[in-house]
Amino acid sequence: MSRILHIESATSVCSVALSEGGLRRSFQEAEQPNTHGERLTLLISHCLNEAGWRLEELDAVAISAGPGSYTALRVGAATAKGICYALGKPLVRVDTLQIIAAGMAIQVSNHEALYLPMIDARRMEVYTAAYTMNLELISPAQALIVEEDSFGTWEGRTLFFAGDGADKCKAVLNRPGMYFLDVPLAAGDMIPLAQKAFDSGKFEDVAYFSPVYLKPPNITPSKQILWGNITKINNL
């Protein structure tokens, strides 16, 4: 049975899971925000120890491919690609919004509804997409500034929202038929999606894989005097 390492690092909280034959064997999560670079490899080590596996025994690595935080996604992708390169293992991608949608569909079953996972993208902007209960993609991932008339196209239809971007939208999206679910983004919900891709042989090119960012990084320009710093370096 296939053994897969699942890495989810798209938001401020990162998590790792191991699965065997589509069943979860271990799970670890770091709740400290923005510590992915320090904790991700530790989470992987803890998961392996809990399952009694060695890294070499993995059959594949699955990565939460975004959208999400630019830096957080890069940390996860670099870690996953490094393992795949070192061990010659295939890389499986799972769309981050679909991971949340999968958790939503487990919590609430409604064949007529749409499931709209949301990831915080600063201020009143979110990354979102629309899925059916069977995870059929109805509207692709986009960066959206949420307003009262957002999702008016689906007025009269039941809409479920979840994810760390949904909380800030509750006051705006309060029309009848709109419901908010508590579904955290977690590596454990990647398992059936990654297993399906693995069984179908849908693997990424490790060398060229890049996460889905949707937006450029939010970089604050340095206020340091660069020429002065260069002079100091040259004088060392």
Q: What is the mean pLDDT of the chain?
A: 91
Q: Which tokens belong to 99?
A: 């991971």
pLDDT of 30 > 60? The answer is yes
Can you tell me the mean pLDDT for 214-236? 46
Q: Which tokens belong to 53?
A: 């596996």
Residue 67, preceding peptide bond in cis (omega within 30° of 0)? yes
pTM score above 0.85: yes
pLDDT of 57 > 80? The answer is yes
Range with the largest mean pLDDT of 35-39, 189-193, 210-214:
189-193
pLDDT at residue 224, as a whole number: 40
Question: Which of 194, 188, 213, 198 is CA-nearest to residue 73?
Answer: 213
234 or 215: whose pLDDT is higher? Answer: 215
Please state, in angstroms and rounded to a whole number, the distance separating the CA atoms of residues 183 and 190.
13
b/e burial code for range 52-68 (CB count within 10 A of at least 16 → b): ebeeeebebbbbbbbbb
Can you list the domains of the chain with their CATH numbers? 3-96+186-199 (3.30.420.40), 97-180 (3.30.420.40)
Please state, in angstroms and rounded to a whole number, the distance separating the CA atoms of residues 154 and 176.
12
Angle between helices 191-199 and 96-107 (to 10 degrees): 120
pLDDT of 233 > 80? The answer is no
218 or 161: whose pLDDT is higher? Answer: 161
Please state, in angstroms and rounded to a whole number, the distance separating the CA atoms of residues 136 and 105.
11
Q: Return the percentage of the chain with pLDDT > 70, whole number.
A: 91
Span between the terminal Cα atoms of the chain, in Å? 57
pLDDT at residue 218, as a whole number: 60
How does DSSP classify residue 112?
T
Can you tell me the mean pLDDT for 43-62? 98
How does DSSP classify residue 152?
G
Which tens digit of pLDDT belongs to each residue from 72-102? 999 999 999 999 999 999 999 999 999 999 9
